Amino acid sequence: MNEKILKNVLLKPYTSMYVGGPALYFVEVESIEEVTEAVVFANEKALPYFVLAGGSNILVSDAGFSGVVIHMDIKGVKLLEETLEYVEYEVGAGENWDQFVKLCVERGLYGVENMSHVPGTVGASVVQNVGCYGQDVSETIQNIRAVDVETKEEITLSNSDLGFSYRKSKLNDRDAWKGKYIVTHVVFRLNKTGELNMSYGDIQKYFATHTEITPSLQSVRDAVISIRNNKFPFPDSPIHGTCGSFWNADTVDENTYEEIIRKLEARGFQEKAEDLKNKRNIFKVAQGYKVPYGMFVEILGFKKRPHGGAKVLDTHSGVINNFTGTASANDVYTLGQEVVDEVYKEFGIKLKFEPELVGEF
């Protein structure tokens, strides 16, 4: 393990925003044993550590990280069980998420097709309960394997253990298990038959304007990729750098949802208010109502607004883009915080950063 531990490795190229300073120590781990050894190394050095996956949901400080970065690189897709109804795969936490979705679609398996073209890794998707166009990753997860960082032992946790909710799990909840476990493998169950989820307007609009295309697993994946590419760039270069969705908000109760509608009407945004009224059923989830925060960002004039080398995207008001390719982490952070402050001031909704902050800000 010691020969794999590197010093002062710049983290910028490992993140989808393409910003950030160096890690004091950096190590790629390819097995459960190497995960454990990396944690032991950090403990022996009395240093904090951070697990870096695909780098798509983090914002690394310009000063970097004064600790040990554990880069998750456990790979493999293993068939565990197959019946007439479903297939179960055990997937390494370091596998590319979109490549796994592609594999499932090519094999005619239902459950993750709407989550196509989401950057990041399989392990990170579980921690964040990634979701897109009406599907959540938690709907397909059977269990995970993880390392308990205190005991250094491997543990299996079931779907029900993980406490999934909207864009959350116990694994990223500071009041629960955040930092307690490192995910190494995920077991998914995908169905051989199913109904396509085409409830979201963007998908419906795509097929309405492409009447020659028959809805299928592959064509829904193609549709999602096209829709996402038109809204924001896939982070394959610095000028396309993003963290994905930059803000989120807790679900709100029905009274708060109705109050938002009234505030929109009072400010003259009748069309936006009607949109919320018409989409009550779409935004309704088990915990309450999802808040379409991008609408607030647009209403308050942040869309296209730059700060230094970063700006809110022209085509998506929920995403900050490193449009110059040379933005600093501070550029991104400052712009993100301005949005948080203004939305709270005007609407009383407390947005939160979706990417995790790494290092000092």
User: What is residue 1's predicted lDDT score, i.e. its pLDDT?
Assistant: 63
Predicted TM-score (pTM) above 0.85: yes
Domains identified in the chain and CATH numbers:
2-72 (3.30.43.10), 77-191 (3.30.465.10), 238-358 (3.90.78.10)
pLDDT at position 233 is 85
Which regions of the chain does DSSP assign to beta strands (E)?
6-10, 22-29, 49-52, 58-60, 65-72, 77-82, 86-92, 131-132, 135-136, 141-148, 154-158, 181-191, 247-248, 284-285, 288-289, 306-307, 310-312, 320-321, 352-353, 356-358
In the predicted model, residues of the chain with pLDDT beneath 70 are 1
Neighbours of 271 (CB within 10 A): 8
